[in-house]
């Protein structure tokens, strides 16, 4: 604890390393959670695949089965949410699905749809049996997790940095009110805010991931401001 206080009062920078470390840690927690969900869903996906396969592709189009429609829904995400897996080879030329999420195996294209993006893939010629599907499934899941890791780290970093800055601005008001200008400059407030915000955000995110219980964002924000004002009020000029 003493080392943390010394870092806040006498350290260098504005806490960007703290924010970055928190963003990376949150991303790791997110990836571990995602991998666990995937490992639980994978056997069900493979069971569904056995009902769809084999699929024969020639010249980039499904030639067997043709004129077929099959759909299976995976329980996914929030309670009651579904992730549809659809095989539809009734049309020669497919259209982009309008669903919010799902895997759509059309005659000429493969569509993967998530709440944040839609991706289109072309069929590779050959016979798609269970073994080949399993290999492709693991390959694409790796790509998805890689993209999510990059996006997640960036989002967490920007979110934590903004909250840190906002808490610091309100902390600056506390400095003016308590007349502690000689002790606290804005860089000190940023380091203090980074520690408070990031620790509480990580705890909340971990609880939400493991126990589906989280501290509301507004509560974290106001608690961080309150603790910052308390820290400012307790510091004395001769201890700076």
Q: Same domain for 153 and 235?
A: yes
> Residue 8 is encoded by which pair of tokens?
């806040």
Q: Same domain for 117 and 172?
A: no
Q: Which residues contact 66 (CB under 8 A, 6 or more apart)?
A: 89, 107
Does 143 reside within a domain? no
Residue 206 Cα to chain centre, angstroms: 12
Does 23 reside within a domain? yes
Question: For the segment 52-89, what is each residue's pLDDT rounded down to a tens digit?
Answer: 889 999 999 999 999 999 998 887 655 556 888 899 99
Domains contained in the chain, number: 2
Q: Same domain for 158 and 213?
A: yes
**Structural domain boundaries enclosing 207:** 2-30+149-239
Show which of 128, 161, 185 is a domain's final residue.
128
Q: List 134's β-bridge partners, or say none.
A: none
Question: For the segment 144-160, what is each residue's pLDDT rounded down to a tens digit?
Answer: 888 889 999 999 999 99
Measure the CA–CA gap between 146 and 133, rounded to whole angstroms: 20
> Residue 232 is encoded by which pair of tokens?
């400012």
Pick the residue with more confidence: 70 or 9? 70
Q: Same domain for 223 and 162?
A: yes
Q: Same domain for 15 and 70?
A: no
Measure the CA–CA gap between 159 and 201, rounded to whole angstroms: 10
Does 108 reside within a domain? yes
Question: For the segment 147-198, what is each residue's pLDDT rounded down to a tens digit?
Answer: 889 999 999 999 999 999 999 999 999 998 888 887 888 999 999 999 999 9
């Amino acid at each position: 604890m003493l080392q943390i206080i010394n870092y806040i009062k006498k350290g260098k920078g504005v806490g960007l390393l703290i924010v970055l470390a928190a963003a990376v840690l949150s991303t790791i927690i997110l990836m571990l959670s995602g991998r666990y969900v995937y490992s639980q869903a994978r056997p069900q996906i493979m069971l569904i695949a056995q009902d769809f396969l084999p699929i024969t592709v020639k010249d980039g189009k499904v030639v067997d089965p043709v004129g077929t429609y099959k759909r299976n829904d995976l329980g996914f995400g929030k309670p009651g949410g579904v992730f549809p897996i659809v095989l539809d080879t009734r049309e020669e030329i497919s259209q982009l699905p309008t669903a919010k999420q799902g895997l759509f195996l059309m005659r000429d294209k493969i569509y993967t749809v998530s709440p944040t993006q839609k991706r289109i893939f072309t069929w590779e010629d050959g016979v798609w049996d269970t073994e080949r599907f399993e290999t492709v499934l693991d390959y694409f899941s790796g790509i998805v997790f890689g993209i999510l890791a990059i996006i997640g780290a960036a989002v967490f970093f920007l979110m934590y940095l903004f909250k840190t800055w906002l808490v610091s601005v309100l902390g600056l008001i506390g400095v003016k009110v308590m007349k502690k200008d000689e002790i606290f400059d804005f860089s000190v407030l940023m380091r203090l805010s980074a520690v408070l915000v990031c620790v509480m955000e990580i705890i909340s995110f971990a609880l939400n991931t493991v126990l589906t219980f989280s501290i509301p964002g507004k509560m974290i924000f106001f608690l961080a401001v309150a603790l910052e004002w308390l820290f400012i009020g307790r510091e004395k000029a001769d201890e700076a």
